Amino acid sequence: MNAHEIDYQIFGEEMQFVEIELDPYETVIAEAGSFMMMDQDIELTTIFGDGSQKQSEGGLWGKVLSAGKRLLTGESLFMTAFTHAGTGKRRVSFASPYPGRIIPLDLSEMEGKIICQKDAFLCAAKGVSVGIEFSKRLGRGFFGGEGFIMQKIEGDGLAFLHAGGTVVKKELQIGETLRVDTGCLVGFTRDVDYDIEMIKGIKNMVFAGEGLFYARLEGPGTVWIQSLPFSRLADRIVSASRHYGGNSKGEGSVLGGIGDLLDGDNW
Protein backbone atom coordinates (compact mmCIF):
# COMPACT_ATOMS: atom_id res chain seq x y z
CA MET A 1 0.00 0.00 0.00
CA ASN A 2 1.11 3.58 -0.72
CA ALA A 3 -1.18 5.03 1.96
CA HIS A 4 -0.55 4.58 5.69
CA GLU A 5 -2.57 1.79 7.29
CA ILE A 6 -4.65 3.33 10.08
CA ASP A 7 -7.28 2.02 12.49
CA TYR A 8 -10.38 3.97 13.51
CA GLN A 9 -13.57 4.08 15.57
CA ILE A 10 -16.62 6.29 15.01
CA PHE A 11 -18.46 7.70 18.05
CA GLY A 12 -21.84 9.41 18.44
CA GLU A 13 -25.14 9.47 16.62
CA GLU A 14 -26.27 12.90 15.33
CA MET A 15 -22.95 14.72 15.85
CA GLN A 16 -20.32 12.08 15.17
CA PHE A 17 -16.56 12.15 15.40
CA VAL A 18 -13.96 9.66 14.18
CA GLU A 19 -11.02 8.60 16.33
CA ILE A 20 -7.93 7.53 14.34
CA GLU A 21 -5.39 5.22 15.98
CA LEU A 22 -1.83 5.75 14.78
CA ASP A 23 1.26 3.60 15.12
CA PRO A 24 4.66 5.34 15.30
CA TYR A 25 5.35 7.50 12.21
CA GLU A 26 1.86 7.00 10.79
CA THR A 27 0.09 10.14 9.54
CA VAL A 28 -3.47 11.21 8.87
CA ILE A 29 -4.39 14.28 6.79
CA ALA A 30 -7.49 16.41 7.36
CA GLU A 31 -9.25 19.54 6.20
CA ALA A 32 -8.49 22.62 8.28
CA GLY A 33 -11.08 23.09 11.02
CA SER A 34 -12.06 19.43 11.46
CA PHE A 35 -9.60 18.68 14.31
CA MET A 36 -11.15 17.79 17.68
CA MET A 37 -8.47 16.36 20.03
CA MET A 38 -5.24 14.33 20.09
CA ASP A 39 -2.97 12.41 22.46
CA GLN A 40 0.56 13.42 23.37
CA ASP A 41 3.40 12.63 20.92
CA ILE A 42 1.24 13.56 17.92
CA GLU A 43 2.69 16.44 15.93
CA LEU A 44 0.61 18.78 13.77
CA THR A 45 2.06 20.07 10.50
CA THR A 46 0.52 22.37 7.90
CA ILE A 47 1.12 21.04 4.39
CA PHE A 48 0.72 22.63 0.96
CA GLY A 49 -1.91 20.63 -0.96
CA ASP A 50 -2.72 17.13 0.27
CA GLY A 51 0.78 15.72 0.78
CA SER A 52 0.08 12.66 -1.37
CA GLN A 53 2.78 10.68 -3.16
CA LYS A 54 1.41 11.84 -6.52
CA GLN A 55 1.89 15.46 -5.47
CA SER A 56 5.41 14.80 -4.13
CA GLU A 57 6.51 13.16 -7.38
CA GLY A 58 5.58 16.33 -9.28
CA GLY A 59 8.03 18.46 -7.31
CA LEU A 60 7.26 22.13 -6.61
CA TRP A 61 5.03 22.45 -9.67
CA GLY A 62 3.06 19.39 -8.57
CA LYS A 63 2.47 20.96 -5.16
CA VAL A 64 1.36 24.28 -6.68
CA LEU A 65 -0.98 22.53 -9.12
CA SER A 66 -2.48 20.35 -6.40
CA ALA A 67 -3.07 23.33 -4.10
CA GLY A 68 -4.53 25.39 -6.95
CA LYS A 69 -7.03 22.65 -7.74
CA ARG A 70 -8.15 22.71 -4.11
CA LEU A 71 -9.00 26.40 -4.45
CA LEU A 72 -11.39 25.52 -7.30
CA THR A 73 -13.36 23.27 -4.95
CA GLY A 74 -13.64 26.08 -2.38
CA GLU A 75 -11.10 24.52 -0.01
CA SER A 76 -7.98 26.02 1.54
CA LEU A 77 -4.56 25.84 -0.13
CA PHE A 78 -3.34 23.98 2.93
CA MET A 79 -4.24 20.81 4.80
CA THR A 80 -3.17 19.60 8.22
CA ALA A 81 -1.13 16.45 8.84
CA PHE A 82 -1.06 14.67 12.22
CA THR A 83 1.93 12.36 12.72
CA HIS A 84 2.64 10.03 15.63
CA ALA A 85 6.22 10.90 16.58
CA GLY A 86 6.49 8.78 19.75
CA THR A 87 6.14 5.14 20.73
CA GLY A 88 3.15 2.87 21.27
CA LYS A 89 -0.27 3.80 19.90
CA ARG A 90 -1.75 7.29 19.95
CA ARG A 91 -5.12 8.70 18.87
CA VAL A 92 -6.35 11.81 17.10
CA SER A 93 -10.02 12.71 16.53
CA PHE A 94 -11.92 14.71 13.90
CA ALA A 95 -15.47 16.00 14.31
CA SER A 96 -18.44 16.40 11.99
CA PRO A 97 -19.08 20.03 10.95
CA TYR A 98 -22.90 19.65 11.27
CA PRO A 99 -25.45 16.91 12.16
CA GLY A 100 -25.05 13.83 9.99
CA ARG A 101 -22.94 10.73 9.45
CA ILE A 102 -19.28 9.97 8.89
CA ILE A 103 -18.72 7.49 6.05
CA PRO A 104 -15.57 5.33 6.20
CA LEU A 105 -14.29 4.22 2.79
CA ASP A 106 -11.55 1.71 2.01
CA LEU A 107 -10.39 2.91 -1.40
CA SER A 108 -8.54 -0.35 -2.05
CA GLU A 109 -11.98 -2.03 -2.24
CA MET A 110 -13.39 0.60 -4.61
CA GLU A 111 -10.91 0.51 -7.48
CA GLY A 112 -8.97 3.35 -5.91
CA LYS A 113 -11.33 6.25 -6.63
CA ILE A 114 -14.45 7.95 -5.24
CA ILE A 115 -16.15 11.05 -6.68
CA CYS A 116 -17.99 13.19 -4.14
CA GLN A 117 -19.47 16.64 -3.49
CA LYS A 118 -16.98 19.41 -2.83
CA ASP A 119 -17.37 19.68 0.97
CA ALA A 120 -17.73 15.96 1.80
CA PHE A 121 -14.09 15.08 2.59
CA LEU A 122 -13.20 14.98 6.30
CA CYS A 123 -9.85 13.15 6.69
CA ALA A 124 -7.78 10.28 5.27
CA ALA A 125 -4.62 8.25 5.71
CA LYS A 126 -1.53 9.97 4.34
CA GLY A 127 -0.96 8.88 0.75
CA VAL A 128 -4.59 9.40 -0.29
CA SER A 129 -4.93 12.09 -2.94
CA VAL A 130 -7.69 14.70 -2.71
CA GLY A 131 -8.22 16.36 -6.10
CA ILE A 132 -10.92 17.67 -8.42
CA GLU A 133 -13.13 15.98 -10.98
CA PHE A 134 -14.28 18.14 -13.91
CA SER A 135 -17.66 17.44 -15.45
CA LYS A 136 -17.50 16.73 -19.19
CA ARG A 137 -21.20 17.42 -19.69
CA LEU A 138 -22.62 20.95 -19.90
CA GLY A 139 -25.99 20.03 -18.39
CA ARG A 140 -24.37 18.39 -15.42
CA GLY A 141 -22.06 21.37 -14.97
CA PHE A 142 -24.71 24.09 -15.16
CA PHE A 143 -27.59 22.39 -13.35
CA GLY A 144 -26.05 19.64 -11.22
CA GLY A 145 -25.96 21.57 -7.98
CA GLU A 146 -22.21 20.97 -7.73
CA GLY A 147 -21.28 22.83 -10.93
CA PHE A 148 -18.52 21.61 -13.22
CA ILE A 149 -16.26 20.59 -10.35
CA MET A 150 -16.55 17.80 -7.80
CA GLN A 151 -13.91 16.24 -5.56
CA LYS A 152 -12.16 12.99 -6.36
CA ILE A 153 -10.45 10.95 -3.67
CA GLU A 154 -7.86 8.48 -4.98
CA GLY A 155 -5.51 5.97 -3.43
CA ASP A 156 -5.49 2.63 -1.62
CA GLY A 157 -6.04 3.71 1.99
CA LEU A 158 -8.88 4.75 4.28
CA ALA A 159 -10.76 7.99 3.68
CA PHE A 160 -13.66 9.51 5.61
CA LEU A 161 -16.53 11.56 4.18
CA HIS A 162 -19.20 13.49 6.05
CA ALA A 163 -22.81 13.94 4.95
CA GLY A 164 -25.93 15.50 6.50
CA GLY A 165 -28.78 13.67 8.19
CA THR A 166 -29.12 9.96 7.45
CA VAL A 167 -26.89 8.42 4.77
CA VAL A 168 -28.18 5.71 2.42
CA LYS A 169 -25.88 3.42 0.44
CA LYS A 170 -27.29 2.10 -2.85
CA GLU A 171 -25.73 -0.68 -4.94
CA LEU A 172 -26.70 -0.22 -8.60
CA GLN A 173 -26.53 -3.11 -11.04
CA ILE A 174 -25.59 -2.77 -14.72
CA GLY A 175 -28.19 -0.55 -16.42
CA GLU A 176 -30.07 0.16 -13.17
CA THR A 177 -30.87 3.85 -12.70
CA LEU A 178 -31.61 6.06 -9.70
CA ARG A 179 -32.93 9.63 -9.69
CA VAL A 180 -31.77 11.80 -6.80
CA ASP A 181 -32.18 15.42 -5.71
CA THR A 182 -28.93 17.08 -6.80
CA GLY A 183 -28.19 18.35 -3.29
CA CYS A 184 -28.75 14.92 -1.72
CA LEU A 185 -26.02 13.23 -3.76
CA VAL A 186 -22.92 12.62 -1.59
CA GLY A 187 -20.71 10.54 -3.85
CA PHE A 188 -20.34 7.51 -6.11
CA THR A 189 -17.78 5.03 -7.38
CA ARG A 190 -15.87 5.55 -10.62
CA ASP A 191 -18.03 3.35 -12.90
CA VAL A 192 -21.34 5.08 -12.11
CA ASP A 193 -22.62 7.22 -14.99
CA TYR A 194 -23.80 10.57 -13.64
CA ASP A 195 -25.94 13.05 -15.57
CA ILE A 196 -28.69 15.63 -15.02
CA GLU A 197 -32.29 15.08 -16.11
CA MET A 198 -35.02 17.71 -16.37
CA ILE A 199 -38.29 17.17 -14.51
CA LYS A 200 -41.08 16.52 -16.99
CA GLY A 201 -44.20 18.66 -17.16
CA ILE A 202 -44.60 22.43 -16.84
CA LYS A 203 -46.88 22.07 -13.80
CA ASN A 204 -44.31 19.89 -12.03
CA MET A 205 -41.55 22.42 -12.75
CA VAL A 206 -43.52 25.41 -11.49
CA PHE A 207 -45.47 24.02 -8.54
CA ALA A 208 -43.71 20.88 -7.27
CA GLY A 209 -41.13 22.88 -5.32
CA GLU A 210 -38.42 20.34 -6.14
CA GLY A 211 -36.41 22.40 -8.63
CA LEU A 212 -36.11 21.83 -12.36
CA PHE A 213 -33.54 19.03 -12.40
CA TYR A 214 -32.49 15.90 -10.60
CA ALA A 215 -29.39 13.75 -10.80
CA ARG A 216 -29.63 10.55 -12.82
CA LEU A 217 -27.21 7.80 -11.85
CA GLU A 218 -26.77 4.58 -13.79
CA GLY A 219 -24.94 1.47 -12.59
CA PRO A 220 -22.91 -0.50 -12.09
CA GLY A 221 -21.50 0.94 -8.89
CA THR A 222 -22.20 2.33 -5.43
CA VAL A 223 -23.97 5.60 -4.61
CA TRP A 224 -24.20 7.42 -1.26
CA ILE A 225 -27.18 9.72 -0.61
CA GLN A 226 -27.80 12.14 2.29
CA SER A 227 -31.20 13.07 3.70
CA LEU A 228 -30.17 16.57 4.84
CA PRO A 229 -27.87 18.57 2.53
CA PHE A 230 -26.19 21.45 4.35
CA SER A 231 -27.64 23.93 1.81
CA ARG A 232 -31.16 22.80 2.73
CA LEU A 233 -30.41 23.12 6.44
CA ALA A 234 -28.93 26.59 5.93
CA ASP A 235 -31.97 27.71 3.89
CA ARG A 236 -34.34 26.63 6.68
CA ILE A 237 -32.29 28.48 9.30
CA VAL A 238 -32.18 31.67 7.21
CA SER A 239 -35.92 31.40 6.48
CA ALA A 240 -36.73 30.94 10.17
CA SER A 241 -34.53 33.85 11.22
CA ARG A 242 -36.29 36.14 8.74
CA HIS A 243 -39.72 34.96 9.87
CA TYR A 244 -39.11 35.44 13.59
CA GLY A 245 -36.68 38.32 13.24
CA GLY A 246 -34.81 37.19 16.34
CA ASN A 247 -37.94 37.75 18.47
CA SER A 248 -39.58 34.62 19.86
CA LYS A 249 -42.12 35.89 22.43
CA GLY A 250 -44.61 33.19 21.52
CA GLU A 251 -42.10 30.35 21.36
CA GLY A 252 -42.86 27.67 23.90
CA SER A 253 -46.24 29.15 24.87
CA VAL A 254 -49.65 27.59 24.25
CA LEU A 255 -50.42 30.10 21.52
CA GLY A 256 -47.00 29.80 19.85
CA GLY A 257 -46.98 31.60 16.50
CA ILE A 258 -50.55 32.83 17.04
CA GLY A 259 -49.35 34.74 20.07
CA ASP A 260 -46.74 36.50 17.94
CA LEU A 261 -49.40 37.35 15.37
CA LEU A 262 -51.76 38.86 17.95
CA ASP A 263 -48.83 40.66 19.55
CA GLY A 264 -48.20 42.48 16.29
CA ASP A 265 -44.84 40.85 15.44
CA ASN A 266 -45.97 39.61 12.04
CA TRP A 267 -48.09 42.55 10.90
Domain boundaries, the chain: 7-243
Q: Is the pLDDT of residue 261 over 50?
A: no
Distances (CA, A) of 249 to 175, 228, 245, 265: 55, 29, 11, 9
Indicate the range of 47-56, 74-83, 121-130, 171-180 predicted with least confidence.
Answer: 47-56
Phi, psi of 101 (to 5 degrees): -130, 145
Question: What DSSP element (H or E) covers 261?
Answer: helix 257-262
Report the chain's mean pLDDT, rounded to a whole number.
Answer: 78
Q: Is the pLDDT of residue 214 over 70?
A: yes
The architecture CATH gives domain 7-243: 4-Layer Sandwich (3.60)
pLDDT at position 25 is 94
Q: What is the pTM of this model?
A: 0.77
pLDDT at position 60 is 54
Q: Which residues contact 229 (CB under 8 A, 6 or more apart)?
A: 164, 181, 183, 184
Indicate the range of 22-36, 98-112, 227-241 predicted with least confidence.
Answer: 227-241
Confidence of residue 106 (pLDDT cuts 50, 70, 90): very high
Distances (CA, A) of 35 to 86, 149, 159, 186: 20, 26, 15, 22
Q: Is the pLDDT of residue 105 over 60?
A: yes
Phi, psi of 83 (to 5 degrees): -115, 135
